[in-house]
A and B are shown apart, each in its own frame.
Chain A
Amino acid sequence: MELIRNFPCLSIFMAMLSAIISSALKGNGARRLNTFVVTAVGVMSACVLYLTCTTGESYVYKMGHFPAPIGNEIRFGSLEAGMALFFCVIMLFSLNGGRKKIQIEIDPGKENLYYIMVDLLLSSLLALVYTNDLFTAYVFVEINTIAACGLIMIMESGRAIEAATRYMIMSLLGSGLFLIGLCMLYDMTGHLLMSYIQISVREIAESGTYMIPLLVTIALIVVGLAIKSALFPFHAWLPDAYGYSTVSSAAMLSSLVSKGYIFLLIKIIYRVIGFDIFVNSKIINVLFVFGLAGMIMGSMSAIRENDIRRMISYSSVAQIGYIYMGFGLGTTVGMVASVFHILSHAATKSLLFVSGVGLTDVSGEKTQFIELTGAAYRNVAAGLAFTVGSLSMVGIPLFSGFISKLLFSQAAVQSNIKMLPTLIALAVSTVLNAIYFMKTVIRIYTPIESKYPSVSIKKNRLYAFTLLCFVMLNVALGMCSQPITDWITQGLSVFA
């Protein structure tokens, strides 16, 4: 048991070290090392999850030689460990699902660079999940941004480079706001460790002396992270970045990178600012309104889109809106629903991206809808998986999307003024989701004499197996929702 406490620190270092070693390896070696590291980190996170779930506590791990108020710390409870495990699983599946495309689309000499970026992404995600120090979080936010930029621009087409540039600009604006916010917070509280900041923030809130600076600081940090995770008005970079990168990158960007920032935001809400102070600030109403707007506008843009990859990307904007709407409700139930939706959306969106690429492959690499007609008959596995993902996004029972919509509605009913707008937006968004996803499913199941050859499952077993794993993960999230929500509730209770 004592040994397991070292695992979070060890997994961050392992991911970083593997990135350094990969720079000296050839493509194949880097790929094997990456698979090994992701699996090993997943196993270690599972051990940590087991430890934290059995004891029900959260642990503090001292980094370096200086004790608490000055030094650096890692802190982990069941929510952090479970999230790390989930990120590893999604990363492994996304990489396996897009393995062939990576080999085709990336220059053979540059394949190891891709895996370096993936390793760095993993290490920064783990650090964002586990760290207890605000400035360390900032540094790893930047590492995460740089790695994500590398994942987008690895294709080296003009479109990809332009998308990467736009992504970098928006991300840098976000991290600039986050940085000045945390400097102001440090100025007011004199601490960088999250738990100690919270004590000082409580004193400030009770004495009522620095209320306006405190509000400005919370706003700067929240807006900074909202820009980075593509909340509605700041989403302009997203469709290009997801639409023109290689499929594994798109799956990882949508289901891991933006979720890493949102998880950091949850951590800041609970551990740095304090949930009650955050709820009492006016910021949650802003988040609520933008979340609702994102749910509707993201889906509207997706309906107008004529490109399957960009349609799935715009759907991400809507789903991020759901998560922020859950924050905006300002109740613990709303938070639980948001955390569940992080899991549900990550599992579903990466499934949609990976299965979508199977459909476009049997349509002459074209992403326009007209070319996709009947694609589900030419690639049966991808067609079935895409249908499952669509049904989950729309919110059909049995799949994970249903549970998150159910949790959101339950949370909405518990709040007074926000109940009606939430329920209306959920209903409208569900109908809009159904319009564009069902349109696509009907399109791919329309039989047609096609000029494109079909692909059998036996030809690409790894791809079919990955899709099966994704579908099973989705169904598992939908069927065993009670233990998962219990785990999230327990994790959030020891989070602060």
Chain B
Amino acid sequence: MGEHLLANYAEVVAVILFGIGFTNLLLQKNMIKKIIGLNIMDTAVYLFLAEKGYIAGHIPPLIVGENFNPDTYINPVPSGLVLTGIVVSVSVTALMLSLTIRLYRRYHTLDLDEISMRLKKEGL
């Protein structure tokens, strides 16, 4: 068990980071901290993918001249997935930030629970 954890330390770090991000997104009251949690969570997934795509001793998948041997390259698909994931995560973060700005302008606080309390009091 222990030696498996040490041998795959990057995956272990990725999963721990994912947990940290997930709990932050779920439990923080402050919107900005929630968004930071979201970004940690997404980045942990990219770390996991990047680690999985890397094959020790292989070179980047670039074709130079006539030399083409697929066995010497690392797996390029996870890198593509990471890029796509980053695009998705950027757009979602932008949307969350814009929602936060809307809420802050209206209620002058970033605390989501307090906003809910105030909405309930208003009875709207």
Taking Cβ atoms with an 8 Å cutoff, the residues of A that contact B are 70, 135, 138-139, 142, 145-146, 149, 153, 156-159, 161-162, 164-166, 168-169, 172-173, 176-177, 179-180, 183-184, 186-187, 192
Contacts and interface: CB of A to CB of B under 8 A. Distances in A.
Contacts of A179: 42, 45, 85
A176 B41 contact: yes
Nearest to B52: A187
Interface size class of B (residues with CB under 8 A): 35 or more
A165 B52 contact: no
Given A158-B106, A183-B52, A184-B48, 19 more contacts: A70-B77, A142-B91, A146-B95, A153-B99, A153-B102, A156-B102, A158-B124, A159-B124, A161-B103, A165-B99, A165-B103, A169-B25, A172-B92, A176-B22, A179-B45, A180-B48, A183-B45, A186-B52, A187-B48
A162 B88 contact: no
22 contacts: A138-B88, A158-B119, A161-B102, A165-B96, A165-B99, A165-B103, A166-B112, A168-B92, A168-B96, A169-B25, A169-B26, A172-B96, A173-B22, A173-B26, A176-B21, A179-B42, A179-B45, A180-B44, A180-B48, A186-B52, A186-B78, A192-B77
Nearest to A161: B102
Contacts of B26: 169, 173
Nearest to B116: A162
Given A146-B91, A176-B18, A183-B52, A161 B38 contact: no
B84 interface: yes
A407 to B, nearest CB: 36
Q: Is the interface of B mostly helix, strand, loop or mixed?
A: helix
Q: Is the interface of A mostly helix, strand, loop or mixed?
A: helix
A164 B96 CA distance: 10
A381 B77 CA distance: 56
A135 B84 contact: yes
B32 interface: no
Interface of B: 15, 18, 21-22, 25-26, 31, 34, 38, 41-42, 44-45, 48-49, 52, 77-78, 81, 84-85, 88, 91-92, 95-96, 99-100, 102-103, 106-107, 112, 115-116, 119, 122, 124
Given A158-B119, A176-B22, A176-B25, A139 B103 contact: no
B45 A158 contact: no
Nearest to A176: B41
A184 B81 CA distance: 13
A168 B99 contact: yes
B124 A157 contact: yes
Given A176-B42, A183-B49, A139 B106 contact: no
B18 A180 contact: yes
Contacts of B45: 176, 179-180, 183
A183 B84 contact: no
A151 to B, nearest CB: 13
